[in-house]
Amino acid sequence: MVVDLMGTCDETSPALQKQLFARLPFWAKHMKHWSPEAFAMRSRLHWQCIDCSGACSLDEALAKHVESLVKDKKEQDQKDRELRQVLSPKLEINAEFGFDELLLSNKLLQALQARGHSRHQVEQVESRIDNFHVLQQKLARRVELQLQHLEGSGSAATQVKKLLQQNADPNAPNRLGRTALIYAAGEGHLELVEVLLEAGAQLEARDEGGSTALIWAASNGRLKVVNALTKAGAQLDARDVPGNTALMSAADNGQLKVVETLVKAGAQLEPHDEQGITALMSASEKGHHKVVEVLAQAGAQLEAHDVQGNTALMWAAEKGHVNVVEVLVKAGAQLEPCDESGITALMSAADNGRHDVVEVLVNAGAHLEARNENGERALMYAAANGHYDVVKALIKAGAQLEARNENGERALMYAAANGHLKVVEVLVNAGAQLQARNADGETALSFAADSGHHDVVEILKRGQSTH
């Protein structure tokens, strides 16, 4: 016989009915998208089992039983919601209203506008966003009222204990998968974390992004909570959906004390996210030099690279974090690794105008004439982007003025083509060859003329007349 989980035909044996009754409370409690309306609709339908003839209806006793479960679940949901609201009113009400969808709608609107989609599609998304803004105003008022209610209801610990005594479930998640423990950990409520753990809160419960209470606490710098969760046996290297661990989240946010605590507790240093980013790379990119120092001293691999070939030093150089670069160089980071396009830390720093970083790398012995896959060097990057101070520093360090890329272009041609007058002047004064030609016979002067940079043209003409 085929039996629907929410009902059984009139011919079902008493034994099977009893078995279904026993399982229904568990089933109803764990339904993610429970809807009393959906059940009411189904209970009005007629079913025909494979080995029965004619129509039959759902068992009335079973329907009444489930109706009772629906009522109980509503009451339970309310208690669970109140528990989460005590711990983080704004985030819980935010989750209830679904404001993560507002962020997605804004991104969708930007994408539609960028790609030139129809006005009707754009207007639909705009209308949706307007509706969310109305809800946002209601949310602000609701949060205010909720905070006033909580303030008048005694301490948070008292409220949490009272709700737990009323059988509020510390492991019940909201629509975003966040439990009371996750909220308490993220907000740094140590006393409430301890109360929830004693009540049976699951350490490894995850929200829809895969984050555990430990990851939330670490990311927000909740040191005391991190210590409590670690002591309680939380998995140090649990990962969220993108692959971040608690240590990676703490490093990314510059939570130095948390990083030190997790390292001491034995957290692994080398896990990486889906892009290959490790804790050391993340801290380097964000400029958290103290965190970088701790991780380097703990033995983090300095030459680990992400999926595009970038190392921690390359990230720091690109972003211009000179303190991080100094820490990594002192720790022994190699200067010449390159990404998948052949770009080194020095090239990246030159490309982005990171003068201080260029100075550190040059003094550390970085190879001035390293080339990317197109034969471009650090001086060319700096010249192309008009980074005057970087160009001067590289020339002073001995960078070759006449080095060429695969098509024969020199640094002077890059500067001239992009109209960087001051860079052109410093290169000319340093002795760059004005008559040099690329593989197509073009000179710096022709590049400047073709691009309409008349001031550069004048400088180059005067240079030719004096050379």
Give the contacts of 220 (CB within 8 A, at least 6 positions apart): 186, 187, 188, 253, 255
What is the model's pLDDT at position 118?
58
Angstrom distance (rounded) from CA 385 to CA 319: 16
Angstrom distance (rounded) from CA 414 to CA 411: 5
CATH 1.10.1740.10 for domain 269-344, yes or no, is no
The segment(s) of the chain belonging to CATH 1.25.40.20 are: 269-344, 368-467
- pTM for the model: 0.76
Give the contacts of 25 (CB within 8 A, at least 6 positions apart): 69
CATH fold label, 368-467: 1.25.40
The distance between the two most distant Cα atoms of the chain, rounded to a whole number of Å, is 108
What does R_g of the chain's alpha carbons equal in angstroms? 32
Burial class (CB within 10 angstroms; exposed 0-12, middle 13-18, buried 19+) of 154: exposed
What is the model's pLDDT at position 156?
83
pLDDT in tens, 224-266: 999 999 999 999 999 999 999 999 999 999 999 999 999 999 9
| pLDDT tens, N- to C-terminus, the chain (467 residues) | 334 444 444 444 455 455 555 555 555 555 555 555 554 444 444 444 444 444 444 445 555 666 777 788 888 888 888 888 888 876 665 665 554 554 555 555 455 455 555 566 656 655 655 555 555 555 555 545 544 454 444 578 888 999 999 999 999 998 888 999 999 999 999 999 999 999 999 999 999 899 999 999 999 999 999 999 999 999 999 999 999 999 999 999 999 999 999 999 999 999 999 999 999 999 999 999 999 999 999 999 999 999 999 999 999 999 999 999 999 999 999 999 999 999 999 999 999 999 999 999 999 999 999 999 999 999 999 999 999 999 999 999 999 999 999 999 999 999 999 999 999 999 999 999 999 999 999 999 999 999 999 999 999 998 776 65
- Side-chain-side CA neighbours of 45 within 13 Å: the count stands at 13
